[in-house]
A and B are shown apart, each in its own frame.
Chain A
Amino acid sequence: MQRYLVKRLVGAVPLLFFITVISFAIIHLAPGGPAEIYLGTSANPESVAQINHALGLDQPIYLQYVKWMFALLHGNFGTSFTTGQPVIQDILQALPVTLYLVGSAFILGWLIGIAVGVAEALKPYTRLDYLLTVVSFVLISIPVFYLGLLLILFFTVYLGWLPSIGMVTQGAPFSFLDLARHMVMPVAALTAVEVGFRARFVRASMLEALSEDFIRTARAKGLTGTVVVYKHALRNALLPLVTLFGLALPALFGGSVLIENVFSLPGIGRLQVSAVFARDYPTVMAVNTIAAVLVVVGNLLADLMYGWVDPRIRYS
C-alpha cells in the first residue's frame, strides 16, 4: 500500500513537469507580453524593454523556466505582476472558494445522482424512468453558465429572492445564512450538470447489476427487496463508478471557472481569467499548476478509494 502510494506520487512528477513546461512555453513564447498590456500598443520600445528587464522577461526562456521551477520547489510561486503581492496570497484566498464550489457539487452530484439513477433502474421503462432520463439528458446538455444565468433571471430578477453577486453581502456582518443565500444558486447550477451525468451512469450500472445471477440468488433465498437492492445490487453497481471520481474532476474545475464568472465569486477560475487578460504570467502559471495538482491528487484519491470499496483490488 505504502509502496503503491510512493510509486503513484513519483509517477505524477513527470506529468506535472510536462504540464508546467507546456504552460510556460505557451505563455512566454507568444507575442504581446505584460509590458505591452500595461503601456498600450503605442508604448515606446525603451519603456517596454525596461519593464521586461525588470520582470526578468528578457532572459532566455529556459533560464526563466529553471528559475521559476527553482522558486516553486522552495514553495514560492513568484510575485504577481498586477498586485505586486506574492502570488501564493491570491491563490490561498481564491482556492477555498473553488474547492468549496467543486466539493459541494461533487458530493451533492453523486448523492442525488445515485438516488435518481437507482430510482430509474428499479422501475425501468416506466413513466418515472422516462421522465427522469429526459431530465438528466437535458441537464447534461445545458451549458453550466447558461443555467447559472437562467437561475439569476428567475430567482434574483423575477422573484427577487436570492443575491447573485459574490459570496457575502458587502459591508454586512458575516452570517451563515447570508453565505448560504449567496452560494445556493452557484452550487445548484454546478450540481445540476453533475447530477445529469451521474444519474445516467448509475442507472446503466444498476440495471446491469440487477440482472446478475447473484441478485436472483439473493431474491431466491428469501431476502427482502430492500436488502437485495441496497446491499447486493447497489454496492456492485457503484464499483465501476468509483473510477469516474477522478475523471470527473477536470470538467468540474472547468465548470467552476464559468460559475465563478457568472456569480462574481472570487475563486481561482476568476483569478485565472483576470490574470490571463493582464498577462500576469506568475499568476497564470500558479493557477494552472495548482489545477493540475488538484486533478492528480483527485485521481490518486479515486484510485485509493477503489481499493477501499473493492477488496479484490490489490495495489502493487
Chain B
Amino acid sequence: MAALREPTPGPEAAPRPLVAADDAAPRRSLFWRRFRRDRLAMAGLGMLTLLYLMAIFAPVISGHVDPNKLNLLDALQGPSAAHIMGTDEYGRDIWARIVYGARISLSVGLISVSIALTIGIAIGSLAGYFGGFVDALLMRFTDAVLAFPILFILITVVAVVGPSLFNIFAVIGLTAWPGIARLVRGQFLSLRERDFVESARAAGARPWRVIFRHILPNAVAPVIVAATLGVAGAMLFEAALDFLGVGLQPPTATWGTILNAGQGYVLAGDWWFTFFPGLFLVLAILSINAIGDGLQEAFNPRALRR
C-alpha cells in the first residue's frame, strides 16, 4: 500500500510559485507511514473508533434497553447476565447508560475543540501576523485566561448560566483556546519572515490571504496535535463538571453524571456503579492521548516524546 502512495511530482510541478506547498504530497505519505508504524497510536485510533461506533449505534449496542427505564426492584444489583455492568440506585441498566452517555461524552470534545480552534487560530494569527501593539494586547489577554485555574471559572460560569448541553459545550470551548492561540502565534512569528511569505506580500497579497493561504497551511501540524489533545482535555472537564454536580443534570446519562450518582454508593461497596463509567472515560482519554502522541511523532519524528 505504502509503495502506491509514493510521491509523484506530476501535476504538482505546475507553476504555482507563490504557494509553498510543493512538498506537501511526499510529506503526507511519509506521515501516514510513520503514523501507522506507531502501535500505541493505532491501538488508540482503533479503540476510539469502537467507542464512536458504540455511541452511534447505542440502541443496538445496549440491546434496546432504555437507559432511563426505572426498575426499583432491581436497584443496585451487581454485574450479572441480565445487567452486565450492574444497575444503579433506580435499577437502571448501567451498561445502557454508559452506551448512551458516550454520545454526550464523545461529542463534547469535538464541539468544544472546534470552538476553541476557531478562537485560538483567530487570535493567534492576528497577534503573530501583525505583531507590535496588537500582539502585546492579545497575548496579555491570552496569558490572563491561561493563568486562571480554569476549573474554578468553569464551575462558576456553568452554575450561573445553567447546565444545559449547549452552555457546557460553549463554556468549555470558550476557555480552551489560549494554548492554541499561543501555539499559532509562535508558528506565525517563525513563518512570517520566511521567503515565501515575503514574496506573497511583495506580489500584493492582502493580509488575510497571506494568513490563510500561505502561513496557516504551514502551521497545521502542531495545531492538529494540540487540538487532538484538547479533545481529551474538554472531555475531562465535562466529566469533572458532571461529577461535581454542576454540569449536566440527572437523569441525563453521561459518564460524569453516572460517576456523580455512583460516588454516593462507593462506601456501600457498589463498585460497579463507579468503576465502569470511569473505565470508559479512561479508555477514551487514553486513546485520544495515544493518537495525539502518534500524530506528533509522525509530523515531527525528531521531536522526542514529551
Report which A residues bind B (CB closer than 8 A). Answer: 14-15, 18-19, 22-23, 26-27, 30, 32, 133, 137-138, 140-143, 145-146, 149-150, 152-153, 156-157, 164, 200-201, 203-204, 207-208, 249-251, 253-254, 257-258, 261-262, 269, 272-273, 276-277, 284, 287-288, 291-292, 295-296, 299
Contacts and interface: CB of A to CB of B under 8 A. Distances in A.
B27 to A, nearest CB: 23
Contacts of A146: 259, 274, 278, 281-282
B149 A141 contact: no
A276 B246 contact: yes
Given A143-B239, A146-B259, A156-B267, A27 B278 contact: no
B161 interface: yes
The 6 lowest CB-CB distance pairs between A and B, nearest first, are A254-B151, A146-B278, A30-B160, A253-B149, A141-B286, A276-B159
Contacts of A203: 304-305
A283 to B, nearest CB: 11
Contact of A287 (B152, B160, B161, B266): B152
A260 to B, nearest CB: 10
A254 B241 CA distance: 11
Given A149-B259, A164-B267, A143 B240 contact: yes
Given A153-B271, A157-B269, A258 B240 contact: yes
Interface string B295-306: 000000000111
B263 A262 contact: yes
A277 B304 contact: no
B264 to A, nearest CB: 11
Contacts of B141: 18
Interface in B232-279: 232, 236, 239-240, 243-246, 259, 262-263, 266-267, 269, 271, 274-275, 278
B282 A250 contact: no
A254 B149 contact: yes
B152 A253 contact: yes
B305 A272 contact: no
Contacts of A296: 147
B282 A284 contact: no
Most buried by B among A138, A146, A204, A276: A146
Nearest to B240: A258
Contacts of B155: 257, 272-273, 276
A141 B289 contact: yes
Contacts of B150: 250, 254
Say what secondary structure dominates the interface of chain A: helix
Most buried by A among B152, B240, B245, B290: B152
14 contacts: A19-B148, A138-B286, A146-B278, A150-B275, A153-B274, A157-B266, A201-B306, A203-B305, A257-B244, A261-B244, A272-B152, A272-B155, A277-B159, A296-B147
Nearest to A197: B306
Contacts of B156: 23, 26-27, 272, 276, 284, 288
A18 B151 CA distance: 17
A27 B152 CA distance: 13
A254 B239 CA distance: 13
Interface of B: 40, 140-141, 143-144, 146-153, 155-157, 159-161, 232, 236, 239-240, 243-246, 259, 262-263, 266-267, 269, 271, 274-275, 278, 281-282, 285-286, 289-290, 293, 304-306
B278 A137 contact: no
Contacts of B278: 143, 146, 149-150
A291 B304 contact: no
Nearest to B285: A141
Contacts of B161: 26, 30
Given A146-B278, A146-B281, A299 B147 contact: yes
A137 B274 contact: no
A146 B262 CA distance: 11
A253 B236 CA distance: 15
B243 A295 contact: no
A138 B287 CA distance: 10
Contact of B144 (A19, A258, A291): A19
A14 to B, nearest CB: 7
Contacts of A27: 156, 160
A140 B143 CA distance: 24
Nearest to A252: B149
A18 B305 contact: no
A135 B232 CA distance: 18
A204 B157 CA distance: 37
B92 to A, nearest CB: 19
Contacts of A291: 148-149, 152
A157 B240 contact: no
A133 B305 contact: yes
Nearest to A254: B151
A202 to B, nearest CB: 10
B226 to A, nearest CB: 14
A19 B282 CA distance: 32
A286 to B, nearest CB: 11
Contacts of B259: 145-146, 149
Given A26-B160, A30-B161, A288-B152, 12 more contacts: A143-B282, A146-B282, A157-B267, A157-B269, A157-B271, A164-B267, A204-B304, A258-B240, A258-B243, A276-B155, A276-B159, A295-B148
